[in-house]
Chains A and B, each alone.
Chain A
Amino acid sequence: MSLSPHTTPSGFLLPSIHAAPPFFTLQPKAETQALVTEQWTRLILSYARHRRLFYLRVEDAEPPGSDWDEVLRNDRINRRLPPSHLSYILDDMVSKNKAMYEPVKQTRSVLLFWRLPEEWAEVLHDWASSTAQLNTILTFFEIVEPPVPSQLSGIPDTLLRRAISILTKTNRAQVIAVSDGEGVRFLAGNVSK
């Protein structure tokens, strides 16, 4: 059997480890499992970035047909990641700030941080300043579904809010609330801090 990288129909390059059957089973030895978890974390995040996926649910590992089939299953070696193993990996990712449970108070679904909220904050501010929208009042909807698609198109509300709250701490954004909803105004701020 050959262990080799494989390109999926969506154009994602799976590493050769993805063709190794033991990779899919929870390892009894803690050190081995730590390595496996690390590999899975990296794989999940890069695939999420590739497809712009923000959520991963334990149930995505169950019946085929989810967005994650290409990664969570490998039909060429007849293996799939069991939900229990995925659940273990998600738990580890949350503990390492690579993801967060979303919604909170459950452990079946996570919001993936293939960009950390801090990094999203920079992307957000860069977008506002490069599209000349500093000092303009924007609605959240306008950011998530801009007329011209941007890196922020389709970003989940939770991430957007976290990014904005990071920017408000350095006076680079200001949240404005009215009875009907909320808006945000980005400010140039000072670069030093």
Chain B
Amino acid sequence: MGGNQSVPKVTKQDRAILDLKLQRDKVKQYQKKIQAVLEREHEIAKQQLAAGNKGRALTTLRQRKYQESLLAKTDGQLENLEKLVSTIEFSMIEVSVLHGLQQGNEVLKQIHKEMNIESVEKLLEETQEAREYQREIDEMLANNLTSEDEEAVQLELQALQTEAVRFVLSLDSHL
């Protein structure tokens, strides 16, 4: 989409659908015509009867009956045509759905290609290595402290602890 899209090609299917729809329109127009004739004949029969021409009225009514049967027949044809048109249109939608599924599948495949098990394992391995490396660094840093430093650290810890205890006691005495 977008850009300067050109007009799509007219395929054989397109022509077939158009043909079908034109046929359908013709049937519809034919029905309209018969409907008009039916109404007119009804009128004529009435007039003939009023004028006392019973025979004529009867003939007209027979004609009318015949036209009615034609109308019923065209109804059936129309239904068939309509069904065919909608079946084709629905199939076209199905085709486009299939196309969509195919494309989605293609994308999924590509993503999977980039994310195969080997590379995941490799990645996990690398993470593991990195973690070990980090631990080594930690150890090395810890080992680097001299015993005096270590002692000072311990003393500081003790001081903090006693201070904390004193603080708690002072709170108690206030209560």
Contacts and interface: CB of A to CB of B under 8 A. Distances in A.
A183 to B, nearest CB: 4
B5 interface: yes
Given A139-B21, A178-B22, A185-B14, A190 B89 contact: no
Interface in B1-53: 1-8, 10, 14-15, 17-19, 21-25, 28-29
Nearest to A136: B89
A137 B8 contact: no
The 4 closest A-B CB pairs, nearest first, are A141-B25, A183-B18, A181-B22, A139-B21
Contacts, number: 52
Contacts of B24: 139
Contact of B2 (A138, A139, A180, A190): A190
A174 B8 contact: yes
A76 to B, nearest CB: 36
A78 B100 CA distance: 70
A180 B22 contact: yes
A142 interface: yes
A171 interface: yes
B18 A176 contact: yes
Contacts of B21: 137-139, 142, 183
Interface in A118-149: 135-139, 141-142, 145
Given A137-B21, A181-B22, A183-B21, A176 B1 contact: no
